[in-house]
């Protein structure tokens, strides 16, 4: 399991921003994304994680000029967890190929309202995006322009009102976990967009990317990066 370190810097629009590096080699860097942080720029023009990491690389490795950083995958703004970036074109190509071949293992944990019908299982839905509302709708049968979405889940712990689930993605669709869990009557805590009755105080949702397993860019060696389940979730269980 890779361990992390935090680097405190100051960069365009960031006040003493923190970059928590979980893993780094010559081609790849994995960092922790706090909930509420954008991965890349959008219409809000708020600070982004990709700019933070570029600044970290520039300062940490004394890189002259502009720093290149490849965006390989994303997390929704209210979701926390592990993000993997490519530092080189070779790293980007190798990881992108693993994404296409579904050999990267992504594990999430979610605190949900209610309890799934079975303690473990596979969910398959067809997701159709509504760009006006920036959300997706999950259907149990194929629909025009809908994309197939699949995940496995396991019930880790259940309380009277809430449950902790471990989730392994089989496909990577926008809002997939949030929409699929809502579709079975178990919306993520705080996720008012997908059926939760109220937001969390910090506007996050109780969903975190907790483990990412991939093969390194230059050798046949598998690397797993992990973070713990957020401690504050235990208060619900």
- Measured between alpha carbons, how far is 228 from 210 in angstroms, rounded to an integer? 6
- Measured between alpha carbons, how far is 132 from 118 in angstroms, rounded to an integer? 34
Q: Give alpha helix (H) positions in the chain.
A: 49-60, 89-101, 176-183
- How many CB atoms are closer than 10 A to CB 23? 21
Q: What are 139's strand-pairing partners?
A: 126
First-to-last alpha carbon distance for the chain, in angstroms, is 27
- Considering only CA atoms, give the Rg of the chain: 18
- Residues involved in catalysis: 76
- Measured between alpha carbons, how far is 201 from 191 in angstroms, rounded to an integer? 12
Q: Do 73 and 99 form a contact (C-beta atoms < 8 A)? A: yes
Closest CA to 116 of 170, 78, 152: 152
């Amino acid at each position: 399991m890779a361990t992390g370190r935090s680097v405190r810097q100051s960069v365009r629009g960031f006040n003493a921003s923190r970059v928590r590096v979980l893993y780094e080699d010559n081609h790849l860097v994995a960092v922790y994304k706090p909930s509420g942080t954008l991965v890349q720029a959008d219409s809000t023009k708020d600070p982004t994680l990709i700019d933070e990491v570029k600044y970290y690389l520039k300062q940490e490795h004394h890189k002259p000029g502009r720093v290149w950083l490849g965006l390989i995958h994303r997390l929704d703004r209210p979701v926390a967890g592990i993000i993997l970036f490519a530092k080189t074109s070779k790293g980007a190509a190798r990881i992108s190929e693993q994404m296409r071949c579904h050999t990267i293992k992504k594990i999430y944990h979610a605190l949900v309202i209610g309890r799934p019908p079975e303690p473990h299982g596979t969910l398959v839905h067809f997701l159709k995006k509504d760009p006006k509302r920036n959300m997706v709708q999950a259907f149990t049968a194929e629909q025009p322009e809908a994309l197939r979405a699949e995940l496995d889940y396991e019930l880790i712990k259940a309380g009277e009102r809430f449950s902790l689930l471990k989730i392994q993605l089989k496909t990577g669709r926008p809002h997939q976990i949030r929409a699929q869990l809502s579709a079975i009557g178990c919306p993520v805590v705080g996720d008012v967009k997908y059926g939760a009755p109220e937001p969390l105080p910090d506007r996050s949702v109780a969903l975190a990317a907790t483990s990412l397993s991939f093969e390194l860019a230059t050798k046949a060696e598998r690397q797993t990066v992990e973070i713990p389940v957020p401690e504050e979730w235990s208060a619900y269980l």
